[in-house]
């Protein structure tokens, strides 16, 4: 029988140190010869990203760090190549952003030149073409940011195409005569509108470049070549990201017609949405936010066969070879796991799993819920109930509302150690997929057009009101946290609502005009669609900014900021810190040297999580056991 105890004070087996040590992030895998490689970002090693081989273990010794900073968010930074019987690893090193190559067990050597001190050159999405590496390059010279597709060999770089502002997904055809890629221009974001281009390859140069799919209001992603010059890609032309094909004559065909997503927002470069198998079938992933599965597709008929797996949230980064396929996924009981699928039997087995630091009996049971706004529209959220095998609440539980970043992103219904840090202590967590989130089709994704700061705030309130009405949470103990764009919504909610006992913002946006004029190039025109053009709509920018209404802030606030953040500079957090100081509002401000937009070091994660929990305890009147 469970004992009753005040929520927030339940003794949890999950410490902040365990949380940080268990937080290895995984995204990409690749078949290399008869081996499979994948990457791991390890907070326990100061946030270092390394490439791991199934056969050889860690392929990069410290201090090497395979991490690109293209678009600031980065993406796929490495490539495995078998050449002359040797397995080679090409990777972008974080400290200097040069491309290096190493044999297994060897010493990395650079293949891109040193750049002048006043310039920055970055690379991502490497592919092997003959004896060259082709990739996306981003340069920062005299305040001007440009990108191009380039060919790299022995410290010599050739520009292949520089006609667009943004590039992703370069792919060479199976007969090596054509190259395809995705591109877009300001003010479009890649989920708004992109183009797929195809060019002929002649003596290593690109000729006869053509737009074959996409447009200003069509997001096309992830082209992959099949046999006979057929091109497969993802498009949201139907209102949902679905699978399409383009034959050599230029005829387009919609292969699938799902009302669930096959695509994913391009916050990072390097996604592989489609894997064309040797027998012509296609391997991909699809599904709603709470049940994204691997699927085999017959491109001729559109028939889909889901691959049986206990995982429910597969990453859109699939690799295949030697009759096997590989993908990372998660579920309500697994944070991240690399599975191997036998393409003959379609049976999935585990290659690698991020082991949970706590027993499964402490897991919450994340599941999707909906709330209905006053205007009748549904709002989606993922609820992680408080759970402990030995304790139950002696009173109604506090509720932690989480607002995801992006804002064009979503939160899945998977196990989260970060949320478990709260749920095992007696605090329920609800992660709101407000209007504008991905995973629910283009119409839902477009709900933030012109309304950022309104729709997201209203949707958060709708979810909170719904849970309060159900009677399961204490209306006087509602907390809210979010990072980046989620931090913007947190601040906006706090200055426009009295629902919340306290809030936490991680590198949150406080001043929309400052964000528009002092952020990185990738997102520099993002607000054009969500608020309006700047400075033409300067008054609207001021109206939507939490900082404008900071005089209405009354809730305690804890603020976390990386001092190396180029996406949301420290001045944004410092402005709200100063508001709290001037108004005498209970607050804390924690700044972290060496951290950017998203904390990667174990020490930063530990400090921030413990400080946040202590802060809530002081506000709500409980003493957390931190371990």
Lookup: tokens for 448: 């933030």
For the chain, give every domain's residue range.
3-16+358-620, 275-355
Residue in 190, 192, 196 with CA at minimum distance from that of residue 232: 196
Q: What is the model's pLDDT at position 618?
A: 98
| Average pLDDT for 520-526 | 97
Q: Would you place residue 27 in the very low, low, confident or very high pLDDT band (cuts 50, 70, 90)?
A: confident
> At a CB cut-off of 8 Å and minimum separation 6, what does 601 contact?
43, 46, 47, 592, 594, 595
Q: How far is CA 355 from CA 176, 330, 387, 523, in A?
A: 41, 12, 19, 35
- Look up the pTM and report it: 0.96
Residue carrying the six token digits 């209306």: 475
Q: Using CA atoms, how far apart are residues 195 and 220, in angstroms rounded to an integer?
A: 6
**Which band of pLDDT confidence, cut at 50, 70 and 90, is reported for residue 22?**
confident
pLDDT tens-digit map of 183-216: 999 999 999 999 999 999 999 999 999 999 999 9
Residue 264 has pLDDT above 70, yes or no: yes
Strands annotated E in 84-191: 86-92, 99-103, 109-110, 119-129, 132-141, 144-153, 156-161, 166-172, 178-184
Please provide the average confidence, as pLDDT, over all residues in the chain: 96
Give per-residue pLDDT as tens, 541-581: 999 999 999 999 999 999 999 999 989 999 999 999 999 99
Q: Which of 35-39, 128-132, 163-167, 597-601 has the lowest mean pLDDT?
A: 597-601
Full 3-state SS string of 559-617: EEEECCCCCCCHHHHHHHHHHHHHHCCCEEEEEECCCECECCCHHHHHHHHHHHHHHHH
Query: What average pLDDT does range 223-250 have in this prediction?
Result: 97
Which residue is listed with tokens 């490439």? 51
How far apart are alpha carbons 63 and 77 in whole angstroms?
A: 16
Distance of alpha carbon 355 from alpha carbon 613, whole angstroms: 24
pLDDT tier at 355 (50, 70, 90 boundaries)?
A: confident
Spatial strand order of the sheet with 166-172 comes to: 166-172, 178-184, 195-202, 205-214
Confidence of residue 33 (pLDDT cuts 50, 70, 90): very high
Q: In this structure, what token pair is assigned to residue 211?
A: 């737009």
Report the pLDDT value the prediction gives residue 501, as an integer from 0 to 100: 98
State the pairing for strand pair 195-202/178-184: antiparallel
- Stretch 298-313: mean pLDDT: 95
pLDDT, residue 43, reads: 86
Is pLDDT at 484 greater than 70 in this prediction? yes
Task: Round to the nearest angstrom and report the end-to-end CA distance of the chain.
Answer: 24
Q: Write down the CATH superfamily of domain 3-16+358-620.
A: Alpha/Beta hydrolase fold, catalytic domain (3.40.50.1820)
Here the tokens at position 88 are 């080679």
At 399-426, the pLDDT tens digits run 999 999 999 999 999 999 999 999 999 9
């Amino acid at each position: 029988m469970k004992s009753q105890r005040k929520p927030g004070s339940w003794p949890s087996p999950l410490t902040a140190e365990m949380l940080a040590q268990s937080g290895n992030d995984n995204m990409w895998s690749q078949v290399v010869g008869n081996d499979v490689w994948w990457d791991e970002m390890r907070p326990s090693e100061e946030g270092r990203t390394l490439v791991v081989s199934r056969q050889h273990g860690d392929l990069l010794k410290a201090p090497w760090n395979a991490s690109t900073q293209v678009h600031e968010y980065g993406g796929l930074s490495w490539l495995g190549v078998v050449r002359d019987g040797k397995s080679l690893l090409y990777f972008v090193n974080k400290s200097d952003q040069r491309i290096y190559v190493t044999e297994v067990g060897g010493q990395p050597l650079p293949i891109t030149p040193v750049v002048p001190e006043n310039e920055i050159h970055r690379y991502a999405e490497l592919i092997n073409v003959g004896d060259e590496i082709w990739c996306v390059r981003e340069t920062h010279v005299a305040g001007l940011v440009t990108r191009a597709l380039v060919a790299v060999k022995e410290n010599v770089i050739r520009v292949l195409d520089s006609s667009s502002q943004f590039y992703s997904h370069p792919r060479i055809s199976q007969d090596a005569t054509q190259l395809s890629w995705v591109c877009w221009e300001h003010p479009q974001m890649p989920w708004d509108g992109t183009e797929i281009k195809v060019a002929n390859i002649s003596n290593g140069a690109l000729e006869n470049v053509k737009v074959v799919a996409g447009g200003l209001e069509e997001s096309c992603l992830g082209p992959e070549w099949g046999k006979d010059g057929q091109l497969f890609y993802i498009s949201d032309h139907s209102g949902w990201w679905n699978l399409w094909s383009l034959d050599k004559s230029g005829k387009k065909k919609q292969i699938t017609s799902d009302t669930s997503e096959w695509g994913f927002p391009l916050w990072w470069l390097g996604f592989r949405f489609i894997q064309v198998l040797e027998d012509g079938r296609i391997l991909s992933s699809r599904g709603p936010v709470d049940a994204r599965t691997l699927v085999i597709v017959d491109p001729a008929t559109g028939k889909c066969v889901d691959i049986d797996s206990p995982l429910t949230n597969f990453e859109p980064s699939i690799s295949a070879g030697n009759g096997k396929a590989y993908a990372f996924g998660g579920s309500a009981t697994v944070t991240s796991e690399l599975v191997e699928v036998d393409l003959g039997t379609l049976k999935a087995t585990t290659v690698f799993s991020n082991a949970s630091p706590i027993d499964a009996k402490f897991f919450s049971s994340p599941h999707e819920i909906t709330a209905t706004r006053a205007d009748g529209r549904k709002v989606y959220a993922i609820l992680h109930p408080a759970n402990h095998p030995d304790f139950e609440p002696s009173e109604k539980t506090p509720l932690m509302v989480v607002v995801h970043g992006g804002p064009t992103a979503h939160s899945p219904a998977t196990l989260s150690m970060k949320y478990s840090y709260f749920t095992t202590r007696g605090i329920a967590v609800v992660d709101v997929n407000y209007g504008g989130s991905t995973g629910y089709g283009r119409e839902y994704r477009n709900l933030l057009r012109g309304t950022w700061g309104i729709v997201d705030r209203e949707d958060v309130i709708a979810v909170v009101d719904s849970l309060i009405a159900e009677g399961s949470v204490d209306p006087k103990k509602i907390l809210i946290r979010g990072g980046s764009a989620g931090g913007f919504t947190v601040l906006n909610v706090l200055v426009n609502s009295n629902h919340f006992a306290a809030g936490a913002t991680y590198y949150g946006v406080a001043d929309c005009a400052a964000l528009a004029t002092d952020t990185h190039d990738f997102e520099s025109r993002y607000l054009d669609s969500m608020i309006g053009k700047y400075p033409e709509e300067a008054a609207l920018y001021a109206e939507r900014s939490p900082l404008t209404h900071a005089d209405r802030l009354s809730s305690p606030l804890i603020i976390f900021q990386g001092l190396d953040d180029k996406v949301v500079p420290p001045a944004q957090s410092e402005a709200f810190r100063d508001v709290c100081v001037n108004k005498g509002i209970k607050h804390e401000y924690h700044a972290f040297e060496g951290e950017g937009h998203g904390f990667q070091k174990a020490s930063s994660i530990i400090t921030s999580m413990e400080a946040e929990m202590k802060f809530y305890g002081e506000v709500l009147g409980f003493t957390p056991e931190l371990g």
